[in-house]
Amino acid sequence: FHMSSLEVSEEVRQYLKTPTFDNWQWEDSEIMVLLQVMYTDLDFISTFNIELDVLQYFLYEVYKRYNNIPFHNFKHCFCVTQMMYGLIWLTDLRAKIDSIDLLIMLTSAVCHDLDHTGYNNAYQINARTELALRYNDISPLENHHCAVAFEILEKTESNIFRNLTTDQYKRIREGIIKCILATDMSRHTEILNRFKAILPVFDFSNKDHRDVLMMIMIKVSDISNEARPMEVAEPWLDCLLQEFFNQSDMEKLEGLPVTPFMDRDKVTKPSSQTGFIRFVLFPLFIELANLFPCLEHHIIDPVKKALDYYTEMEKALEREKQNRTQ
């Protein structure tokens, strides 16, 4: 890669720790180096004796296994990883949990959508795809993302954990599986309720509590586009709807059930977002902010602005529609 991690200025390294980071300004080759910088600046290289060439090979193997689809592509992997990285610094998590758990969280984010085909679990199950068959309809995509991650990690030249003890590797494998499987949105309510239940008595020295927190952190990172500045977030919604419309077009062609919020004849940008922000994003982000109050300003305030923006857009569309019918 033409940009070595040494060339990344101190200013960019600080910017990389904030949720305002704009992924659209960077080439994939530069993003590869920024991912490497995250492992370096969290001291994973020294703490876990990760060789730089193995880390570069790992990141390149990951890069090759993300597909060129509108939303669940390598740039999405970077956005989720960069948000996770920003949350780790904003919440000062390094002072609260072991670095091995931080390594699990960052690596899970890097790998969480590996080889995503652009068709969600409902499609996999309804179309009886190979993945649905292999995983018995149980989170087929997330099981696949995780299996591909460990295919990459099984190869010595890309196994960034190869200098860890067997116990450490076992703990990392268990943690990454838990985190990646937690990104299945059909489990959203289950996981959020588990977190709500332990919040009043949250204890960082309790492994079960830490496990739920790690799952919440990757879930927040995964769907956090609207926490970013509008000029960064809005293009991501266009990409998401493109992918959703591709899927619903295929479902119509194949006579499969069509998911309502993916149907290009039913969905508008504001309609998909106002509901999502009010009923999915806010409840999740507010719970995490209950544990880390500083997140209120960093991720909840931007989402409030996004809700206002899409609510206004929704009203404007309504007025336009009424004018047309009069």
Ligand X SMILES: COc1ccc(NC(=O)[C@H](C)Nc2nc3c(cnn3-c3ccccc3C)c(=O)[nH]2)cc1
| Catalytic positions | 72
| Residue 59 makes contact with ligand X by CB under 6 A | no
Interacting positions 224-263 with ligand X (CB under 6 A): 225-226, 237, 240, 261
Q: Are 225 and 233 in contact (CB under 8 A)?
A: yes
Q: Which helix (H) or strand (E) segment is 272 a member of?
A: helix 269-276
Distance of closest approach, residue 140 Cβ to ligand X, in angstroms = 14
Interacting positions 147-176 with ligand X (CB under 6 A): none
Separation between Cα atoms, residue 309 and residue 315, nearest integer Å: 10
Q: Which of 106, 110, 181, 223 binds ligand X (CB under 6 A)?
A: 223
State the sign of the Cα–Cα–Cα–Cα dihedral 278, 180, 260, 326.
positive
Distance of closest approach, residue 217 Cβ to ligand X, in angstroms = 15
Burial of 169-193, coded b for 16+ CB within 10 Å and e otherwise, reads eebbbebbbbbbbbbbbebbeebbe
Q: Which of 276, 285, 292, 310 binds ligand X (CB under 6 A)?
A: 276
Interacting positions 34-53 with ligand X (CB under 6 A): none
Length of the chain: 326
Separation between Cα atoms, residue 196 and residue 199, nearest integer Å: 5
Q: With 0-12 CB in 10 A as exposed, 13-18 as middle and 19+ as buried, what is 88?
A: buried
State the sign of the Cα–Cα–Cα–Cα dihedral 72, 107, 12, 290.
positive
Interacting positions 126-145 with ligand X (CB under 6 A): none
- Identify the three-state secondary structure at position 78: helix
Distance of closest approach, residue 46 Cβ to ligand X, in angstroms = 34
Residue 258 per-residue DSSP state? P
Q: CB-wise, 173 or 188, nearer to ligand X?
A: 188
Q: CB-wise, 196 or 207, nearer to ligand X?
A: 196
| Residue 280 makes contact with ligand X by CB under 6 A | yes
Residue 257 per-residue DSSP state? P
Q: How many residues bind ligand X (CB under 6 A)?
A: 13
Q: CB-wise, 40 or 271, nearer to ligand X?
A: 271
Q: CB-wise, 82 or 273, nearer to ligand X?
A: 273
Q: Whose CA is closest to 291, among 223, 228, 179, 216? A: 216
For every residue of 133-152, which 3-state class applies, written as one string? HHCCCCCHHHHHHHHHHHHH
Region from 80-88, 140-148, 211-219, 271-279 binding ligand X, contact rule CB under 6 A: 271-279
| Residue 124 makes contact with ligand X by CB under 6 A | no
Q: CB-wise, 160 or 307, nearer to ligand X?
A: 307
Scan for tokens 């200098």, then name that residue. 163
Region from 81-89, 204-212, 213-221, 268-276 binding ligand X, contact rule CB under 6 A: 268-276
Residues 6+ apart with CB under 8 A from 53: none
Distance of closest approach, residue 121 Cβ to ligand X, in angstroms = 9
Region from 35-43, 166-174, 270-278, 312-320 binding ligand X, contact rule CB under 6 A: 270-278
CA angle centred on 43, ends 293 and 86, rounded to 5°: 30
Interacting positions 174-213 with ligand X (CB under 6 A): 185, 188
Distance of closest approach, residue 212 Cβ to ligand X, in angstroms = 18
Residues near ligand X (CB under 6 A) are 185, 188, 223, 225-226, 237, 240, 261, 272-273, 275-276, 280
